[in-house]
Amino acid sequence: MRVLVAEDERDLAALVATGLRRAGFAVDTVHDGEGALELMGLYGGPGEPVGPGEPVGPRAAPAPAGPPRGSSAVPDEPLGPFVYDVLVLDRDLPRVHGDDVARRVGAAGSRTRILMLTAATAVDDRVEGLDLGADDYLGKPFEFPELVSRVRALRRRSARPALPPLLERYGLAMDTVRRTARRDGRDLDLSPKEFTVLQILLEADGAAVPAEELLERAWDAHADPFTGAVRVCMSKLRAKIGEPGLIRTVQGVGYVL
d(CA 39, CA 78): 8
What is the reported pLDDT for 121? 66
d(CA 140, CA 133): 19
| Ordered per-residue pLDDT tens for the chain, 257 residues | 889 999 999 999 999 999 998 888 889 999 999 999 999 988 765 545 444 334 343 333 333 333 333 333 333 444 557 889 899 999 889 999 999 999 899 888 888 999 998 887 677 777 787 778 888 988 888 888 899 989 988 887 766 566 677 889 999 999 987 889 999 999 999 998 899 899 999 988 888 988 888 887 887 766 666 668 888 999 999 999 999 999 999 888 889 99
Q: Are 53 and 103 in contact (CB under 8 A)?
A: yes
What is the reported pLDDT for 247? 93
Report which of 212, 215, 257 is spatially closest to residue 238, judged by C-alpha positions: 257
3-state DSSP percent of the chain in helix, strand and coil, to 5: 35, 20, 50
What is the reported pLDDT for 118? 81
Beta bridge partners of 231: none
Task: Give the number of other CB atoms < 10 A from CB of residue 85.
Answer: 22
The total number of residues shown for the chain amounts to: 257
What is the reported pLDDT for 109? 83
Task: Give the number of other CB atoms < 10 A from CB of residue 161.
Answer: 5
d(CA 78, CA 8): 16
What is the reported pLDDT for 134? 86
d(CA 125, CA 118): 10
What is the reported pLDDT for 50? 43
My answer on whether omega of the bond before 161 falls inside 30° of 0, hence cis, is yes
